[in-house]
A and B are shown apart, each in its own frame.
Chain A
Amino acid sequence: GQQVMQIPQYQHVQEGEDFTTYCNSSTTLSNIQWYKQRPGGHPVFLIQLVKSGEVKKQKRLTFQFGEAKKNSSLHITATQTTDVGTYFCAGRAGGTSYGKLTFGQGTILTVHP
């Protein structure tokens, strides 16, 4: 079945440093979504990418979808303590019934002030 691998599993940064998490799928995706989960909370949708090579920005967050639609990345510029949490990518394969998502393992981000 479809697998989505996400690295790194953990990332510790000093406040102000940049952060990147990478996501790779074993199959071509129709779209990919990113979610953020604050400590003790539930996943919350951040963004969806659909087109090959797509780049979207949300303030200090930059999301990319690879040309082959099998990989994606999330980059945070100048991290802040409010960025702490787990970031998940979640991919949908083409023709997936019910809009099922396959989640990556997540990257746990710690930001030291």
Chain B
Amino acid sequence: DAGITQSPRYKITETGRQVTLMCHQTWSHSYMFWYRQDLGHGLRLIYYSAAADITDKGEVPDGYVVSRSKTENFPLTLESATRSQTSVYFCASNLPGQGYEQYFGPGTRLTVT
């Protein structure tokens, strides 16, 4: 059972480039989330999705785009990377409803130079 995976695990890119972070889960969880983790800020929600083709903005969506054509995949795209987007990005998923814990992927460490 692979669970939830993210790729790449590490990425270095230059300012202005487009980069896509991939997230794949094998549980068929309908809810999926993207967070960024920065010291002093904890985990901040970027985008979330309730099901395929249903996405919505979180706390810090500017500069990011998501899509969800299939339940199991939830890619996050940085349209034109900036240094302020250097961070660790976590994808998470959970079953529908408010009573369920979130399962996190291993994370992608992104550096924008």
CB of B50 closer than 8 Å to a CB of A: yes
Contact of A99 among B35, B58, B96 (CB under 8 A): B96
Q: A50 vs B97: C-alpha distance in the bound complex, in angstroms?
A: 14
Please determine whether A43 and B98 come into contact, CB atoms closer than 8 angstroms.
no
Contact of A103 among B44, B96, B97, B98 (CB under 8 A): B44
Please determine whether A42 and B99 come into contact, CB atoms closer than 8 angstroms.
no
- Closest approach, in angstroms, between the C-beta of B6 and any C-beta of chain A? 9
CB of B31 closer than 8 Å to a CB of A: yes
**Chain A: how many interface residues by the 8 Å CB criterion?**
27
Interface-located stretch among B18-26, B73-81, B101-109: B101-109
Contact of A98 among B50, B104, B106 (CB under 8 A): B50
The number of inter-chain residue pairs (CB within 8 angstroms) is 64
- Closest approach, in angstroms, between the C-beta of A24 and any C-beta of chain B? 13
Contact of A48 among B43, B45, B101 (CB under 8 A): B101
CB of A58 closer than 8 Å to a CB of B: no
- Select from chain A the residue with minimum beta-carbon distance to B91: A42
Please determine whether A6 and B42 come into contact, CB atoms closer than 8 angstroms.
yes
Q: Give the chain B neighbours of A9 by CB distance below 8 A.
A: 40
Please determine whether B42 and A45 come into contact, CB atoms closer than 8 angstroms.
no
Given contacts A42-B90, A43-B90, A43-B104, contact A105 B98 (CB under 8 A): no
| Pairs A–B under 8 Å by Cβ, sample size 13 | A1-B59, A42-B90, A42-B104, A48-B99, A50-B99, A88-B42, A96-B98, A97-B56, A99-B96, A99-B98, A101-B45, A103-B43, A105-B41
Given known contacts A1-B59, A97-B56, A100-B33, what 7 new A-B pairs fall within 8 Å (CB)? A33-B102, A43-B102, A99-B94, A99-B100, A100-B45, A102-B59, A104-B42
Residues of B within 8 A of A (CB): 31, 33, 35, 40-45, 48-50, 56, 58-59, 90, 92, 94, 96-107
